[in-house]
Chains A and B, each alone.
Chain A
Amino acid sequence: AQSVTQLDSQVPVFEEAPVELRCNYSSSVSVYLFWYVQYPNQGLQLLLKYLSGSTLVESINGFEAEFNKSQTSFHLRKPSVHISDTAEYFCAVSFRDDKIIFGKGTRLHILP
């Protein structure tokens, strides 16, 4: 069965510092991986996704995630965070032609 584990429920980080949000998945077959972001009082929106090809994927606002098949991980990183990055981040997995399963989320707190 597919599952997604986000290891940290909350991550505090100072503004302009780097951050890594961890995500591990379990699946016996190939999967597609996503990171979604939920800003306060809003719905979820796609941040980036891995389908195939290059294992490093980037978003337009400076986030990147690297697919590591051997470690079954898809960690999200940003070299320098901004106060506007305050949000909850969800890792998700989808098997070809199947439903999308979400992790429990990680709240990113940016400290001034």
Chain B
Amino acid sequence: DADVTQTPRNRITKTGKRIMLECSQTKGHDRMYWYRQDPGLGLRLIYYSFDVKDINKGEISDGYSVSRQAQAKFSLSLESAIPNQTALYFCATSPPAGRDGSTEAFFGQGTRLTVV
């Protein structure tokens, strides 16, 4: 089983609909992230959470919201989907900084979202 699981893997939705993307992890990490990937733009950070009570906006949070239901679950919502939110969405987790201050991200397989 994957350590970081995203559901659904693919979704087509209509403009104006509300949609939720879910992420769960079995790595026991406190930190979770949502990124979106667009061709030529790389990965851009939407929201991140360093523990259950900590939610932070990333560089492109407008139009999105998140919920950290538990240490292992971090959901991304599009309240009213629009076509330019069509993208590949990735959830990631990371452990707290180690003694040397380092951390690294572990990714899910991605959710391909199409808004028509």
Chain A contacts to B: CB under 8 angstroms: 6, 9, 32, 34, 36, 42-46, 49, 51-52, 90, 92, 94, 96-97, 99-105
Contact = CB atoms under 8 A, between A and B. Distances in A.
11 contacts: A9-B40, A32-B101, A36-B107, A45-B107, A94-B102, A96-B101, A97-B97, A100-B104, A102-B44, A104-B41, A105-B42
Contacts of B116: none
A64 B63 CA distance: 39
B43 interface: yes
Contacts of A32: 101-103
B101 A43 contact: no
Given A43-B90, A43-B110, A51-B100, A100 B105 contact: yes
Contacts of A104: 40-42
Contacts of A49: 102, 104
A100 B50 CA distance: 12
A104 B59 CA distance: 14
- Per CB-CB distance, the 9 closest pairs between chain A and chain B, nearest first, are A104-B42, A96-B101, A43-B107, A102-B43, A51-B102, A97-B97, A44-B107, A105-B42, A43-B109
